[in-house]
Amino acid sequence: MHIGPYALTNRLMVAPMAGVTDRPFRQLCKQWGAGYAVSEMITSKRDLWHTAKTMRRADHRGESGPIAVQIAGTDPQMMADAARHNIDNGAQIIDINMGCPAKKVCNVWAGSALMQNPPLALAIVEAVVQACAPLGVPVTLKMRTGWNAENKNALSLALAAEQAGVQMLTIHGRTREQGYKGQAEYLTVAEVKSRLRIPVVVNGDIDSPQKARAVLDLTGADALMVGRAAQGRPWIFREIAHHLATGDTLAPPLVAEVRRSLLAHLHEHCALYGEYTGVRTARKHLGWYVRHMPGGEAFRQHINNLEDPQAQADALGLFLDQWAQTSDRMPLAEAASAPTTETQFA
């Protein structure tokens, strides 16, 4: 699969998630089999580009390409300027955010709120494409199915975006009104895929290898994007890749392998954020890693009281060493549903 001139190693992608998909997490997922990862969304507001938060989000040092940066905003010219700014700082692909359902984003008419204003949404797409095309940088778009169940306009907006020059489209199978509640539906994605010539990526509720295969079969999508299911389980990409290639279920990863990977992630995380912020922002990752393991809740409470990065790392290493005395592999993931009933696509 290609995005413009860039050939991806596979069709498994990490979804952009604010507060999650920083450089260390993107690298972690790529190490476990993701072929592509998109940055956290970066604001188009020029006065925020040099804040610590935005600069961390735009940090791509040592990251394998292609480097994809998601931008968010409501003004076409500001979005075009943001695209050029991020290209100057290493972005090789620019992704436009029309999928974020967060109130603080939608209240200023950015993210998925743009789907309520198709003329403005298209103006933004056209401005960003015009800014990127002379530089040879492809533009992609991430959206939802629509604002609510009565206003699903993904198809019309997707067709217009393709005509404007977008080179890949990702659709989360929920409306903005749903947020992350209820079930993702994939029939809208299937309809869009049947009408577009550019690659279409399906996103939403893909939480197991079996679900991944079923969703790809139903939608005919060119690729799939995993978000929340990768939190605490980055090896899901390797599991999905194995299942798609063989039809078999891959055994959980070795504890020793996970231990090395997660400790390296903690180190890179604190190197990016600094000790004070890093030890605090790492807590959510540590909680995700152990949430389905015996004793995981007690461990989460323990590490939430630690304020030293080395103490965190030592605690995680000890916790995994104790599990290794029980099994040489990580526990099986909780059974995830495959989309076998009509209601799961409604």
Active site residues: 100
Q: Tell me phi and psi for residue 168, to 5 degrees.
A: -160, 145
- In eight-state DSSP terms, residue 11 is S
Whether 142 and 170 have beta carbons less than 8 Å apart is answered as yes
CA distance 97 to 70: 6
Q: What crossing angle do the helices spanning 296-303 and 309-324 adopt, rounded to 10°?
A: 170
Q: Which of 28, 93, 33, 106 is nearest to 66 (CA)?
A: 93
- In eight-state DSSP terms, residue 208 is S
**Displacement of CA 96 from its chain's centroid (Å):** 13
Place of tokens 């995680």: 316
| 168 three-class SS | strand
Q: In what order do the strands lie in the sheet with 223-226?
A: 36-37, 12-14, 223-226, 200-203, 168-175, 139-146, 93-98, 68-72, 42-43
**Displacement of CA 128 from its chain's centroid (Å):** 21
**Displacement of CA 304 from its chain's centroid (Å):** 25
Q: Tell me phi and psi for residue 311, to 5 degrees.
A: -65, -40
